[in-house]
A and B are shown apart, each in its own frame.
Chain A
């Protein structure tokens, strides 16, 4: 199946790129074009840097979850428990902080612990017991959602002082502020979550690009059998991808919690879907082996931007969000399969053309 019949090197700018780079480039272009369109047609908000920062503030958790998702998708898997884990983390931390009057740092450890536990169990079931990732993580999602309501049924806001202080912490970005209606200068800011998200993106980018473990993820996703023959521990690598994804779900969960400041069973509803969509829009292939964290960052931002545009043009009913995401996902899935299959076809065609030419040459010389 993976035996591609190809001949010679591709020509042209796009042709010379790897699949990963091609798809990432498309994503970045889409984001830039979309943002420029937003600036041109919906001037009011999008020209202000703060609009972009607000998008990041609101979607820091999504970016983190998407990074984990990208990682498992590169190894050829999928994890749909991340939304549920986020909700469970929010609720557990909220209950711990308010009802038990806990410490913020312990809450962070709690969040990481929950994420890690999900990652370890799911990773074990998928990598070592060879169970379909979708079934395992679907069960994981339902388990997390159910547990959330077992921890606490009703939504509530957290008033823990330490936590509120952390939540209110804003990092001022110099020079990019704007003047408000009253004529006062307002500083541009980002929340702590954005910093965490960018750190996660940077860390994963380094891991995926410059470590052997990172490259092993790609190898396993490209072809499991080959990866095994090349001396890679496929099971361990798969396991590790789910553990990291679970851990990032914990981190993302806490960042989400930091942004909303409450616990509720309905938190992060459909977040797994947004994360998958971000990854796919960001150029990660469902079939594995292709993907890039920078692409994922832009994928998540594209998703956020289009939602913002949709609400700016007056379609602010909640249900438009779901429809646009699904539509975008659908389009990108189809575009992906068309691009990749056309590249394959091109290579096939050149593979067949070569021998024919050669036989003709021979006949001519005789």
Chain B
């Protein structure tokens, strides 16, 4: 091990059936540093974290930890804790019904009894020393998320961890809470704790981190000092596009012309309960546009507000010039809007039902409760789209959950195409599916648009959006920060707009 390093991971390999999640990844954490682990979806960050915390067991490679001779084996979360690795997850893993002090001390130590006075005293000292302003006797549920997160960190610190992993701790915090959290992180850094910080917020990385490791497609892109890596460079490394030789694949899509026609969909100052800033949005007949931004920037929340999937708190909506009210998905469907959700498994498929039932579901709901399709008719619909989209399934009766991810996605796409929508929203339709299907879906999007359908396309892969969209709306930190059309549609401008913070360019 090198002098001053706390943790070294060398040549880590990990694969799951069909996926090579990590290939020959190295990672080094030094004493008293905050180290950002960056990468887009599927880059392998979470797999790397899970290997480190013992949730997954690595296939190959070695892990060294300061104070332990030779490579250590980490096969379970308990073993990870024993060698001094603690993790604080995005979702609070504390018990909301217990007091702050209990949450710090439960499940630890020996003896059968609980000495409340001593526990509260020790908790009070710990919280004081870390500058967390909360009473040890308070119920956890009455603390803010930020404070809960800090309590989780306090627990980890008290268990004498030398490596602290913070997995997206800031995604549900507001600015002042983030500031508090950062204060705590700096304090721990001063004590020599090494912190691995996973986040999607670039501003935060540049505010608090010393070093960045970037992963992409399960491979190490590189480790950088924060001063040597401007934002745009970071974004380009995460997305896998070199800034200089980035060829513009553009652009055979016709730039969308203004005509007198009212937009198919138009929203003003739309806002939902999911923490996005109010935004304006419109789309014309036959247009393909997209929301872009890093994961967690609020792009999905925007389209969910459009579709009425989250509770809409303000804003006016017009469709083809006429004001309409869209407060729940059914309103949106009646108005010809279709929405393919980001999380296929949670929001998209009805796992145990057959491919046929999954395909007809939306149209069936639109048609009405008392007018079910006959089995023959439903089969006919299903078979038509199975052929059209080339869905690979044993039969229309196969439960959708036994299909591959790409084919499941096509089934859901079929469900919405069957309703012949005027306006189709596709949120990450190509995530986690094979390249062939990706191209199929891109082609389909262009074909549908040429037939007059309006489509909003969201993807983490910028080149995919460049290939399909004629207008891009850029999101950063839950705010709409720019709109790009025509000549602006290049990787460089997109990345610059996503990155923001011009001082670093």
Q: Interface on B for A, CB 8 Å cutoff?
A: 77-78, 81, 91-99, 102-103, 106-108, 111-114, 116, 134-135, 138-139, 141-145, 172, 174-176
Query: Which residue of B has the minimal Cβ distance to A285?
Result: B97
When the two chains form their complex, are residues A222 and B175 in contact, meaning their CB atoms are under 8 A apart? Answer: no
- In Å, the complex CA distance between A358 and B172 comes to 16
When the two chains form their complex, are residues A230 and B112 in contact, meaning their CB atoms are under 8 A apart? Answer: no
Query: Which residue of B has the minimal Cβ distance to A206?
Result: B113
List 4 other contacts, CB 8 Å, given A210-B113, A289-B97.
Answer: A2-B96, A223-B97, A231-B108, A355-B174
When the two chains form their complex, are residues B175 and A6 in contact, meaning their CB atoms are under 8 A apart? Answer: no
Q: For residue A5, which residues in chain B have a CB less than 8 angstroms away from its CB?
A: 145, 172
Given A213-B112, A230-B106, A358-B175, A9:B98 Cβ within 8 A: no
What's the minimum C-beta distance from A283 to chain B, rounded to whole angstroms?
Answer: 12
Q: Interface on A for B, CB 8 Å cutoff?
A: 2-10, 15, 18-20, 209-216, 218-219, 221-223, 225-227, 229-232, 289-290, 347, 351, 354-355, 358
Query: Which residue of A has the minimal Cβ distance to B137?
Result: A18
Q: For residue A6, which residues in chain B have a CB less than 8 angstroms away from its CB?
A: 141-145
Interface-central residue, B143, B172, B176, by most chain A CB under 10 Å:
B143
Q: For residue B91, which residues in chain A have a CB less than 8 angstroms away from its CB?
A: 3
- In Å, the complex CA distance between A7 and B139 comes to 12
Given A6-B143, A7-B144, A218:B97 Cβ within 8 A: yes
When the two chains form their complex, are residues A231 and B142 in contact, meaning their CB atoms are under 8 A apart? Answer: no
When the two chains form their complex, are residues B97 and A290 in contact, meaning their CB atoms are under 8 A apart? Answer: yes
- In Å, the complex CA distance between A6 and B94 comes to 14
Query: Which residue of B has the minimal Cβ distance to A213?
Result: B112
Q: For residue B176, which residues in chain A have a CB less than 8 angstroms away from its CB?
A: 354-355, 358
When the two chains form their complex, are residues B92 and A9 in contact, meaning their CB atoms are under 8 A apart? Answer: no
Contact partner, A18, options B108, B111, B139, Cβ 8 Å: B139
When the two chains form their complex, are residues B96 and A9 in contact, meaning their CB atoms are under 8 A apart? Answer: no
Interface-central residue, A221, A227, A229, A230, by most chain B CB under 10 Å:
A230
When the two chains form their complex, are residues B113 and A219 in contact, meaning their CB atoms are under 8 A apart? Answer: no
Given A211-B113, A212-B114, A223:B95 Cβ within 8 A: yes
Contact partner, B97, options A9, A213, A222, A225, Cβ 8 Å: A222
Q: For residue A210, which residues in chain B have a CB less than 8 angstroms away from its CB?
A: 113-114, 116
Contact partner, B138, options A4, A9, A227, A230, Cβ 8 Å: A9
When the two chains form their complex, are residues A18 and B143 in contact, meaning their CB atoms are under 8 A apart? Answer: no
Contact partner, B144, options A2, A19, A225, A351, Cβ 8 Å: A351
When the two chains form their complex, are residues A216 and B106 in contact, meaning their CB atoms are under 8 A apart? Answer: yes
- In Å, the complex CA distance between A365 and B383 comes to 63
Q: For residue A20, which residues in chain B have a CB less than 8 angstroms away from its CB?
A: 97
Q: For residue B77, which residues in chain A have a CB less than 8 angstroms away from its CB?
A: 229
When the two chains form their complex, are residues A215 and B174 in contact, meaning their CB atoms are under 8 A apart? Answer: no
When the two chains form their complex, are residues A230 and B113 in contact, meaning their CB atoms are under 8 A apart? Answer: no
When the two chains form their complex, are residues A289 and B174 in contact, meaning their CB atoms are under 8 A apart? Answer: no
- In Å, the complex CA distance between A230 and B103 comes to 8
Given A230-B93, A358-B176, A222:B98 Cβ within 8 A: yes
Contact partner, A212, options B111, B141, B175, Cβ 8 Å: B111
- In Å, the complex CA distance between A344 and B138 comes to 15
Interface-central residue, A214, A229, A232, A290, by most chain B CB under 10 Å:
A229
When the two chains form their complex, are residues B93 and A225 in contact, meaning their CB atoms are under 8 A apart? Answer: yes
Q: For residue A8, which residues in chain B have a CB less than 8 angstroms away from its CB?
A: 144
What's the minimum C-beta distance from A31 to chain B, rounded to whole angstroms?
Answer: 24
Query: Which residue of B has the minimal Cβ distance to A220?
Result: B95
Contact partner, B95, options A10, A211, A219, A347, Cβ 8 Å: A219
- In Å, the complex CA distance between A227 and B103 comes to 10
Contact partner, A227, options B78, B95, B111, B172, Cβ 8 Å: B95
What's the minimum C-beta distance from B125 to chain A, rounded to whole angstroms?
Answer: 20
Query: Which residue of B has the minimal Cβ distance to A6?
Result: B144
Q: For residue A215, which residues in chain B have a CB less than 8 angstroms away from its CB?
A: 98, 102, 106, 114
Q: For residue A290, which residues in chain B have a CB less than 8 angstroms away from its CB?
A: 97
Q: For residue B172, which residues in chain A have a CB less than 8 angstroms away from its CB?
A: 3, 5
Q: For residue B139, which residues in chain A have a CB less than 8 angstroms away from its CB?
A: 18-19
When the two chains form their complex, are residues B106 and A19 in contact, meaning their CB atoms are under 8 A apart? Answer: no
What's the minimum C-beta distance from A347 to chain B, rounded to whole angstroms?
Answer: 7
- In Å, the complex CA distance between A9 and B172 comes to 18
Given A215-B106, A216-B106, A9:B94 Cβ within 8 A: no
What's the minimum C-beta distance from A227 to chain B, rounded to whole angstroms?
Answer: 6
What's the minimum C-beta distance from A3 to chain B, rounded to whole angstroms?
Answer: 6
Query: Which residue of A has the minimal Cβ distance to B142?
Result: A10
When the two chains form their complex, are residues B112 and A222 in contact, meaning their CB atoms are under 8 A apart? Answer: no
- In Å, the complex CA distance between A5 and B94 comes to 14
Q: For residue B108, which residues in chain A have a CB less than 8 angstroms away from its CB?
A: 231
- In Å, the complex CA distance between A7 and B175 comes to 13
When the two chains form their complex, are residues B97 and A355 in contact, meaning their CB atoms are under 8 A apart? Answer: no
Query: Which residue of B has the minimal Cβ distance to A18?
Result: B139
What's the minimum C-beta distance from A41 to chain B, rounded to whole angstroms?
Answer: 38
Query: Which residue of A has the minimal Cβ distance to B111?
Result: A212
What's the minimum C-beta distance from A281 to chain B, rounded to whole angstroms?
Answer: 19
What's the minimum C-beta distance from B91 to chain A, rounded to whole angstroms?
Answer: 6
What's the minimum C-beta distance from B421 to chain A, rounded to whole angstroms?
Answer: 32
Q: For residue B116, which residues in chain A have a CB less than 8 angstroms away from its CB?
A: 210
Q: For residue B112, which residues in chain A have a CB less than 8 angstroms away from its CB?
A: 211-213
Q: For residue A355, which residues in chain B have a CB less than 8 angstroms away from its CB?
A: 174-176
Q: For residue A7, which residues in chain B have a CB less than 8 angstroms away from its CB?
A: 144-145
When the two chains form their complex, are residues A230 and B92 in contact, meaning their CB atoms are under 8 A apart? Answer: no
Query: Which residue of B has the minimal Cβ distance to A74?
Result: B97
Query: Which residue of A has the minimal Cβ distance to B89?
Result: A229
